[in-house]
Structure 1
Amino acid sequence: MQSKILDMHGKPMASSYAGAGSGLGDQLAEWNPSLKMADAGLLPTLQQGNARAEDLVKNHGYANGAVQLHVDNIVGSLFRLSYKPNWRTLGISERDARDLATDVESAFREHAEDPVGCYLDAERKRTFTMMVRETVATHVILGESMASAEWIERPGSLFKTSIKMISPKRVSNPNATTDSQFLRGGIEQDRNSAAIAYHVLNPRYGFSESLNGYGYGEWRRVPRETRWGRQQFIHTFEPREDGQSRGANKFLAVMEQLFMIDKLQVTKLQNAVVSAMYAAVIESDLDSETAHAMIAGATTGDEQMQQGLANHLAFSAEYHKGASVKMNGVKIPHLFPGEQLNLKTPGNADNGFAALESSILGYTAAGMGVSKEQLTRDYSKVNYSSARASMLESWRYFMGERKVIAAGFASSVFSLWLEEAINKKIIKLPRKAKYGFYERKSAWCNSEWIGQGRLAIDGLKEVKEAVLRIESGLSTYEKELAIQGEDYQEIFSQQVRETEERKAAGLPPPSWAMAMLLNEAETPEEPVKKGEAA
């Protein structure tokens, strides 16, 4: 029984907010959710929610497409390092910082993007970009991504730093221990809810229950970092509340709708197939009593009835087989006496299904942070302005995910590699630097990441827009080329090389270079001032 607070006149007091009251007609009276901390609401059903999300991605086209949409827009085909040491803090010149960045970017890409050796991956299956793509995909499906830093010596590799990708499904409390203040969701924590170590289950293969933390296997305790501060475990997710230990997958808010739309599609398809199977039926004039007697006798074993039914059906079939009448090549049915032809036309195959499906997909797209057109790959009902607006909204979301998830993981991996490269003297820091690597680690490891460029609906309009922003001083070549997924330094260097090669081959300069030369030639010379030598 719900208690009510009454005023001095015995009437229920109005709530400060309508949403906290009982609502019109007491519609909200039975809606009494309890306030819980993030872990209390997530951890008890974490494995079930992740299992359902994973099943959706395996068996549902839209769910699988949503994951791929995130991966392609956030990461793309190459995740480029743009190394930017904080040269002001480190006390080095900008020129020294640029020279260092050139060396670091070249050395990192050579090691990280090696498609043959794959030495950065402990399993030797992935390049660095592939690892980042897996990180984003896992974050969408399971709400977080995990990896451990390993030290592996391999012939042919200059570096021992390797990254072991770890499925979040493997991190759990040892032996299904109940969550406590200092151990939640397989993560040891201090009194400030900061992670200290992670417990990773190594299952005995062949026992599927082991991934749920109740079966066979052994747990390995992995510290978050070493005593000198080198990161050992990389846990990437975006917390929504203080004290949150694990991440919530992207499908939890829309899982019910996605699951039901799949069932609805299958049911609708079956109905359409059944409706289309029968074009016509022949109805007999046999009275119900006689038909019932013949069928009942046939099913109960009455030999006379069985023989009568068989004779009737055989005679009817023989009659239809021989009754072939045609006029001008068109067959005319000649029916058995007492029969009539009843044509069956399929009913409305849609019957409002398209509108319902569109509504559910719009709901799903909103919950996933993408536009409906991107989720369905259907742009037939939008114009240029609407399509561009929806894609820019999604782009803003993708950029946030790139910064927090993809770049967060990539920066952790890069800092591990850079530490080893500096200690091995493969990368040499400028001599004039005021601080060493461990004194200002974040300043030495500061970097940005360039992923997939933004899709251009009308390339000409967007190029003109970019040119105007640069010429008006509102943007730079670095920013505009990063939007396209390119590194401006690589573009500039390539332009210089191509211009020199065209000149050596006797070809005219590119059109943009020719325009610059013409502008310089048409610029009037500054007049000589009085008293100066001409």
Structure 2
Amino acid sequence: MKTSVPTIPRQTVVQAPRPAAQFLRPDKSGFISGWPRPALREASADVRQAWGAVASRAVETIQNSGWMTGAVDQAISDTLGTGLKLNANPDWEVCGFKSEEAASEWARKAEKRFRSWSRKPLECDARGKMTISQMADAALRSHYAFGESTARILTRRRRFATTETKVQLFSPLRLVQETREEARLHQGVFLDADGLPIGYRLRVRKDGAEETINLPARDRDGRALIVHIFDGAADQTRGISPFAPILKVFRQADQLADATLVAALMQTIFAATVKSDGLSDEVFDGMTVPGEGGQPDLTGLEAFLGVKEQFWSGNRIDLSQHGRINHLFFGEELEFHNSNHPHNNYLPFMRNLLREIARAIGVSYEAMAFDYENATYSSVRMGIASLWPLVVRRRQFVSSPFYQAVYDAWMEEQVFKGWLPFPGGYQAFLKVRTAATQAEWNGPAKPTADDLKSAKSMGERLERGVSNLAIECADLGFDWEDIADQRARESAYYQQRGLPDPHAAKGSPLVGHNGGPPMDDAVEEDADTGDETQQEDV
């Protein structure tokens, strides 16, 4: 016989999950889990898949939208202005110059000659149409449309042209969208084992037909033959338009504007309707009597409509004639309809869309939309301070490489032909090409909301020793050595004609006229005399 043993219930212990720090913690609401997981891959693959769709829409957007055209023009003006200015700065020790002064003199001579060459389309442009600054403008515009800019460095001997170095811009559409891993061809760019571009596959038009050719990226001496500039990830071989993140936003703004305009037009072209009590079903039934065959007798209704038709045949509402008032039939009322669009939420929503577009392009909303309604002095200054690093970055990473590639090719011809003597000659130049063509490219000055306060800030920095002339002049888009040379020439010019030096320091005895008191004393005496004269006149 089995012994009955009482069972003691045991409490089940549930262990609580141990706390852990992690990304994407359990989502009880399902908000994150409902977000489709995008593919994770290299940037080059994303660019290859979306390049054509983004480029076509970006080009269409720039061509047909005043907002986007104005934003691109504003970004180009902030970055380039009328063009970047060369500030040659060769490494004089590596290049073999005897002294830093000799290298500086050589650099100033190179700057003047490059400036003269770059401003003559017949000398610098293979098509003979544009200056270097105009080509830089077009290259930056291509950056916004296609995400990249492309050009060729050619050697052409032309009539009426002294130099043979020519630049030819071409559309990035000429680069084929072909990828062959076995040939190391990625979107029309041939790469070596390290990912260095060594060649390009282009579609060119010859004798009315298009054909595909392969061109090397450089010649045997290292001179660039193809200039391909874009801003992107390290593994990209082609660029993509900065408009890619905002194409949807622009489409929303465009549709919002069109829909609001259609609704406003429908209501703005005001409508007038005649309200009438009319005939309800009960009244209609009361005016009819059964006739033969069960058909209603509409004699009473026809008589009523006949009287109404006779009334309106002699009266007409004509809204095209101002001030004309007509009598209405009894039981009728004339009602006018006005416009209720755009709605109160239209302007805030449109402003928010334009702010997102301006943020992606790299300009301020106020500059893009010309809307300074709620802007203050502090907000404008803060906006400029926030966007200026983006302008400098765009100038440094997108525009300066184009100028530098052109300057390198031009310098090589100058040294090769002996027009710009270099220590050791052409062969020595090829060995130290990078050190010899080292340069900085200065653009337009940082915009200010108050020039006087900006000038005082500059003077304060120089006085306290936390800045120097090179930095401050570069911020204004000038070369400090050019400023110093020009000031010296102006001072000498004034002194030769017995005039006070306009650049003498304040309080210096040189400020006054020859043989006269200093300018400060003269001003004080004139001020005192003026006060006395004024008191006498009063």
TM-score strictly above 0.5: yes
- 2:461 aligned residue (456, 469, 481): 469
| Equivalence map 1:262-281=2 (5 Å) | 262-278=254-270, 280-281=272-273
TM-score by length of 1: 0.81
Q: Percent same amino acid among aligned pairs?
A: 26
**d(CA) in 1 for partners of 2:426, 2:225:** 28
Q: Where does residue 284 of structure 1 map in the other structure?
A: 276
Are residues 322 and 46 of structure 1, via their aligned partners in 2, closer, same or farther at CA, if it must alter by over 3 Å?
closer
Structure 1 residue 111 and structure 2 residue 124: aligned? no
SS state at 2:250 partner: helix
- 2:192 aligned residue (190, 204, 207): 190
Q: Where does residue 146 of structure 1 map in the other structure?
A: 150
SS state at 1:196 partner: strand
Residue identity opposite 1:440 in structure 2: V
Q: Displacement of 1:288 after TM fit? A: 6.6
Are residues 430 and 322 of structure 1, via their aligned partners in 2, closer, same or farther at CA, if it must alter by over 3 Å?
closer
Structure 2 contact 85–442 (Cα < 8 Å) conserved: yes
Structure 1 contact 22–28 (Cα < 8 Å) conserved: no
Q: Where does residue 256 of structure 1 map in the other structure?
A: 248
- 1:373 aligned residue (362, 366, 374): 366
Cα RMSD (Å): 3.4
Larger Rg: 2
Q: Displacement of 1:222 after TM fit? A: 1.3
- 2:398 aligned residue (386, 397, 405): 405
TM-score by length of 2: 0.81
Q: Where does residue 42 of structure 1 map in the other structure?
A: 47
Q: Where does residue 297 of structure 1 map in the other structure?
A: none
Structure 1 contact 320–336 (Cα < 8 Å) conserved: no
- 2:160 aligned residue (143, 150, 156): 156
Are residues 384 and 443 of structure 1, via their aligned partners in 2, closer, same or farther at CA, if it must alter by over 3 Å?
same
Matched positions, count: 481
Structure 2 contact 504–511 (Cα < 8 Å) conserved: no
Structure 1 contact 90–434 (Cα < 8 Å) conserved: no
Structure 1 residue 320 and structure 2 residue 320: aligned? no
Structure 1 residue 334 and structure 2 residue 327: aligned? yes
Q: Displacement of 1:360 after TM fit? A: 1.2
Structure 1 residue 384 and structure 2 residue 389: aligned? no
**d(CA) in 1 for partners of 2:19, 2:305:** 77
SS state at 1:320 partner: coil
Q: Displacement of 1:150 after TM fit? A: 1.0
Structure 2 contact 156–164 (Cα < 8 Å) conserved: yes
Are residues 264 and 489 of structure 1, via their aligned partners in 2, closer, same or farther at CA, if it must alter by over 3 Å?
same
Structure 1 contact 47–169 (Cα < 8 Å) conserved: no
Q: Where does residue 199 of structure 1 map in the other structure?
A: 201
- 2:475 aligned residue (483, 506, 523): 483
Q: Displacement of 1:336 after TM fit? A: 2.6
Q: Displacement of 1:313 after TM fit? A: 6.5
Q: Displacement of 1:279 after TM fit? A: 5.5
Post-superposition CA distance 1:210-260 (Å, at most 9, x none): xxxxxx72112111111221111111112313x211112100011100122
Structure 2 contact 151–170 (Cα < 8 Å) conserved: yes
Structure 1 contact 39–245 (Cα < 8 Å) conserved: yes
Q: Which moved more, 1:86-95 or 1:223-232?
A: 86-95
**d(CA) in 2 for partners of 1:33, 1:125:** 47
**d(CA) in 1 for partners of 2:509, 2:221:** 57
Structure 2, unpaired ranges of 5+: 1-12, 285-300, 519-538
Q: Where does residue 165 of structure 1 map in the other structure?
A: 169
| Equivalence map 1:376-455=2 (5 Å) | 376-430=369-423, 436-455=428-447
Structure 1 contact 179–185 (Cα < 8 Å) conserved: no
SS state at 1:97 partner: helix
**d(CA) in 2 for partners of 1:287, 1:425:** 103
